[in-house]
Structure 1
Amino acid sequence: MEQAEADLLMSPRGAAALEAEAALPGTPDPFARSAALRRAGFSAGETAALLTQADLRRRAAGRLGPDAARLLLTRAGLEQATRREVAAEHAARVRAAGFDDVVDLGCGIGGDALAFAAAGLAVRAVERDPVTAALARHNLAPFPGARVEVGEAETTEAADGAAVWLDPARRTAGHSDTRRLRPDDWSPSLDFVAGLLSERAAGVKLAPGLDHELIPPGVEAQWVSSGREVAELVLWSGGLARPGTGRAALVLGRAGAAELTGPGPAVDVPPGPLGGVVAEPDGAVIRSGLLGDLARATGSHPVGPGIAYLTGDAIEASPFLDRFAVEAVLPLDPRLIARELRARGIGRLEVKKRGVDLEPAAFRRRLGLKGDGEAVLIATRTIKRRVALLCRRLR
C-alpha cells in the first residue's frame, strides 16, 4: 500500500466512505460501487483503494472476528495475520508465564499485538515498513498501553524483562503449504530466529510445514490447529517454554482447547489389523510427531505402514480425532465401489485418502452417485493391500 492510500483511509472523508462500503450486505457489484464512489467525488485511485479495503474487511471477518470492522489491512498482512482465537492463546501464554511487557518484532498490521494488548500486556510493536506501521498504529489506537515504531527486527533491543514475539515475513509464495523451508526464505532468517530463541524468552510463529531438522534444540515446538486446519508452528523458549515439553499439539475447536504434549517426538506404534473404527488424527498431532502417544492413549494403531489413520474396535471420542465406523471394506476399484454405493442409495459421499495416488474430487465424479444417503469413503493402505473403507461418521 502507498502512503497516499493510507492517508485517504485514515482521513475522516475516506473513513466514512470505507465504513459505508464495508457495511454493504452480500457481495456488492464492483462496477456499480466504483461508479457510485466516482460520482461522490473520489478519484479512480481513491475508489480502487476504498473498494479494495472494503473487500479486505469482509474477508477478514472470519479470521480476525469483530475487530475486522474497524481495522485497516493489506493483502499480505491479512494473509499472514494470526487468527483471532490463536492469537488469544499466544497472549494467554505470555500472561501465564508472568510477563507484563511484550515486544512484537515485525508486527505487520498488528494481529498478534492486538491480542497482547487486549490481554492487558504493554506492547511495543516494531514494523520495518512505515506505511504498514501507520496501519498498525491505527489498529492499536484503542489500547493506550500499545505503541508502534518503525524499525528493523534484527536491530531492535528489547528490555530484559520483556517477552519477545516474532512472526517472520515469508519471502516465497505458497509458504503455508511448503514442507521444506530454507532459512533464507524468511525475513528475519531462521539463523536470526535461532539466536533469538537461545538468548530470550521468545515465541516465534512459523509455517507448520517447517522441516523438523530446522527446529533449534532446547525449544518447545507447538503446532496449533483451529477448526481442524493446522494454522501454525510456534517455537517457545526461555520463560515462555514449559519445562519437560519438547513437542505439543494444541487443538482449538468448538468445545474449547485441548492439548497433547510430550518431551519429544513419540515412539511409533506398529500397524495392526483393521478394526471396526477408523480415526483421522488432527493435523497438529501428525505434524508434531505425537501420533504414537495418541495411539497408545486411545488403544489404537495405524491401519498400515506410514499411514496416519488409526484403527481399533472401540476408539472413544477425543478432541484429537475424527472417528468413522467401518461398514464395508472394498477393493480400491471404482466399478465395485460404484456398485456398492448404488445398492446402498448413497448420493452424497465425502472422499478421504492417505497413502494412495487418488484425487478425491475426480474419483467421486467417476462413481455416478445417485440417492439420498450419505457416507464417507476412506481410500488408504492396510498392511496387506489398498482398500476403500465405506464408513459412517461418528459424533
Structure 2
Amino acid sequence: MGYGFTVEDVAFLRSAAGIAALAEIDHLALTSASHLADVAAARRTAGERAAMLVETVLLRRKAKSKVEEAANWLFTDDALQQATPWQVAKYRAGRFAGRAVHDVTCSIGTELKYLAQVASLTIGSDLDPVRLAMARHNTGAPVVRADALRPVTRDAAVLADPARRDSSGRRRWRPADFTPPLDELAATYGTRELAVKCAPGIDPQDVPWAGEIELVSLDGQVKEACLWAGSLATQGVSRRATVLRSTVDSWTITDADPSECPVTAPAEWLIDPDGAVVRAGLVRHYAARHSLAQLDPRIAYLTGDTPPPGIRAFRVLEHGRYNEKSLRRLLAGRGIGRVEILVRGLDVDPNALRPRLKLKGTDEATVVLTRVGSAPIALLCKAERVSAG
C-alpha cells in the first residue's frame, strides 16, 4: 500500500527544507541490492522523515514513464498507479479546449495539469485532502474538497474518473460498484457536458446516457474507455477508437467512417488491428480506410497487398487448414526454432501448443491460428515493422 502521507507531510515536502532533504535522498541508489543500506543512511540523516522522503524519491523515479516532468511532483503509491498516462491526459484535454472544466475526481492532478493549459477556466476537486494538497503543488490549479456527487460548480464541463478498485486493491467490474457509481454520476450531471474515464471493457448497454464511447490505446496497449455526453460527444459518432503513439503520428477512426470491405482469402500481408479498433467494433472501418479485406466477417484479422504504415504487420509465407501434425511438419521443414503463436477464434493455448511442436532450427516466424467459417486455418508469417513513410 505504500507510505501513508499526511497533509503535514505534503507541507514539509513543499518547503525549502523538504526540497533540500529530497535532493539529499535522491543521491542514494535505492536499488534492490542497496535498499537496506540506503534506508539506514536515510534514517541517519532524516530521522523519522526518512520513510516519507524515500517513498517520494522512489515514486518520482517510478513516475517517469507515466507522468511528464515528474521530477518535482508529489505522489501517493495508489494515486500513481491509478494516474492516466500523460499522453492520454494531454490528448483528452484537447477535447475540452476553450471550455470551463471541473475535474470532479482530480486526485493528484495528472488530468488537471493539461486541462489548465487549454481550458478557459479549470477547477479540481476530490475528497482526499492529501491528494488535493499534492494536486495544488503539482499543477498550481485551484482545488477544493468536495464530493463528486454534490456539485460545487455550475455550467462547467465535467471530467470524472471513478475509482475501480476496492479498499483491498481488487478490481471492480460492475459500473454500479465504482466510486462514484456511473449512473449516479450521469444523473448528477445529466444537463452538463460530461466525460467519464472508465475501463475499456465497459458494456455500452450499461451506459445508455453516453453519446460517444471512445477506446484509447497508447503504444499498442488499450488503456481506457472514455464516455462522452452532451455536446462533448461528437455529433453522428457513437463509437471511436483513438490510437496514440510515441514514435509515429496518432490517429482516430469512428463509426461514421466508411465500413465497406470485402472478405477474401489471405493476401500477401496479414494485419492485426490495434486493440482500440477491435474493442470499439471498428475493424471493418479500419479495413475500408486502408483498402484491406477480412478473412472472416466475425474475426478481427485483416489481409491485403499493402499494410498500413507505422505498424507491425505479418508477411504471409504459407497458409492452409490447421492441424497440429501438419503445422509441426511445416515448421520442421522450414527450420523454425522460435515461434510466436497468435490465436483468435480457436480454443488453442499457445503456451501448451509450443512444446508439442518440438521446434528445432535457427530461424524464427509467427504462426497465426484462426478460422474461416468453421474451418481452422494456420498462417505462417514473418513479422515486419512497416515504415511510417
Structure 2 length-normalised TM: 0.86
Q: Deviations over 1:247-279 (max 9, x none)?
A: 111111122221101249x97978543333221
The 1:38–1:26 alpha-carbon spacing in structure 2 relative to 1, beyond 3 Å, is closer
1:63 to 2:66 alignment? yes
Classify the secondary structure of the residue corresponding to 1:248.
strand
1:33 to 2:38 alignment? yes
- Equivalent in 19, 23, 45 of residue 15 of structure 1: 19
- Equivalent in 276, 279, 287 of residue 284 of structure 1: 276
Letter of the 1:373 counterpart? D
Letter of the 2:376 counterpart? R
Classify the secondary structure of the residue corresponding to 1:62.
coil
Letter of the 1:118 counterpart? Q
Q: Deviations over 1:282-326 (max 9, x none)?
A: 1111111112222333343433463221224x243156x642111
Classify the secondary structure of the residue corresponding to 1:155.
coil
1:262 to 2:267 alignment? no
Percent of pairs identical after alignment?
A: 36
Q: Report if aligned partners of 1:103, 1:165 keep a CA contact under 8 Å in 2.
A: yes
Deviation at 1:103, TM superposition (A): 0.7
- Root-mean-square deviation (CA, aligned residues, Å) is 2.8
- Equivalent in 83, 86, 94 of residue 85 of structure 2: 83
Alpha-carbon distance in 2 for matches of 1:357, 1:289: 22
Letter of the 2:164 counterpart? R
Number of equivalenced pairs:
377
Q: Report if aligned partners of 1:304, 1:381 keep a CA contact under 8 Å in 2.
A: yes
Q: Report if aligned partners of 2:186, 2:209 keep a CA contact under 8 Å in 1.
A: no
Paired residue for 2:366? 376
Paired residue for 1:107? 106
Alpha-carbon distance in 1 for matches of 2:134, 2:40: 27
When structure 1 is superposed on structure 2, of 227-236 and 184-193 the one drifting more is 184-193
The 1:238–1:150 alpha-carbon spacing in structure 2 relative to 1, beyond 3 Å, is same
The 1:302–1:116 alpha-carbon spacing in structure 2 relative to 1, beyond 3 Å, is same
Paired residue for 1:169? 163
Alpha-carbon distance in 2 for matches of 1:288, 1:23: 46
Deviation at 1:11, TM superposition (A): 4.2
Unaligned runs of 5+ residues in structure 1 are: none
Letter of the 2:108 counterpart? I
Paired residue for 1:393? 383
Alpha-carbon distance in 1 for matches of 2:279, 2:26: 38
Deviation at 1:391, TM superposition (A): 0.7
Q: Report if aligned partners of 1:125, 1:148 keep a CA contact under 8 Å in 2.
A: yes
1:326 to 2:316 alignment? yes
Letter of the 2:88 counterpart? V
Unaligned runs of 5+ residues in structure 2 are: none
Deviation at 1:24, TM superposition (A): 5.2
Structure 1 length-normalised TM: 0.85
Alpha-carbon distance in 1 for matches of 2:82, 2:282: 26
Alpha-carbon distance in 1 for matches of 2:47, 2:88: 38
- Equivalent in 144, 148, 159 of residue 143 of structure 2: 148
The 1:73–1:268 alpha-carbon spacing in structure 2 relative to 1, beyond 3 Å, is farther
Alpha-carbon distance in 1 for matches of 2:354, 2:74: 42
Deviation at 1:362, TM superposition (A): 4.7
Alpha-carbon distance in 2 for matches of 1:306, 1:230: 21
When structure 1 is superposed on structure 2, of 32-41 and 372-381 the one drifting more is 372-381
